[in-house]
Amino acid sequence: MRTKVRDIMCASPQCCTPDATLQQAATMMSACDCGAIPVIESSDRRRAVGVITDRDIACRGIAENKGPHTKVSECMSSPLAIIGDDSSVAECCQRMEEAQVRRLMVVDSEGELCGVVSQADIALHLSKEKTAHVVKEISKPTEETPAA
């Protein structure tokens, strides 16, 4: 039996909407001890529309002289790198390598956000050799990469 993304992902991650402020997103990151918060369409519809990372806040917010009340939509990364929750971990690694991202947003069969799978989740569930390969491929310099 192949291990599925749903078996290793962080399920039901803390999310925000595009109209949340950078301060609210940063507070969520602090409370959740994470560096990225998925951005969903609305509290009623969990369709992922972006992700706000600590790097986004630093580079697209603070570095551009935007204040804590700036909307997440002004600084979030989009488009997203996503994967289905029924995908295999091998497919997940391949997707991370191709997109050169450290995390993928995980969607269910309805296209709604149900989790996040990160490079750390891969490291906890795969061999050292496979983890090293994924990290190496993700870290290769590129001209432009998708968000997350």
Give the model confidence (pLDDT) of 85-134 as tens digits: 999 999 999 999 999 999 999 999 999 999 999 999 999 988 888 888 88
pTM: 0.86
Let me know if residue 147 belongs to a domain: no
Percent above pLDDT 70 for the chain: 95
Mean pLDDT for the chain overall = 92
CB 129 within 8 A of CB 62: no
Are 43 and 66 contacting, i.e. CB atoms less than 8 angstroms apart? no
Q: Buried b / exposed e across 18-37, counting CB within 10 Å, b at 16+? A: bebbbebbbebbeeeebebb
* Number of domains observed in the structure of the chain: 1
Look at residue 135 in the predicted model and tell me its pLDDT. 87
145 inside domain: no
Task: Give residue 103's domain range.
Answer: 5-139
Helix axes 89-99, 128-139, angle to 10 degrees: 30
**Residue 147: band (very low, low, confident or very high) from pLDDT cuts 50, 70, 90:** low
Is residue 144 situated within a structural domain? no
Mean pLDDT of 38-58: 94
* CATH value at residue 104: 3.10.580.10
Is residue 1 scored above 60 in pLDDT? no
Report how far residue 144's alpha carbon sits from residue 141's, in angstroms, rounded to the nearest whole number: 9
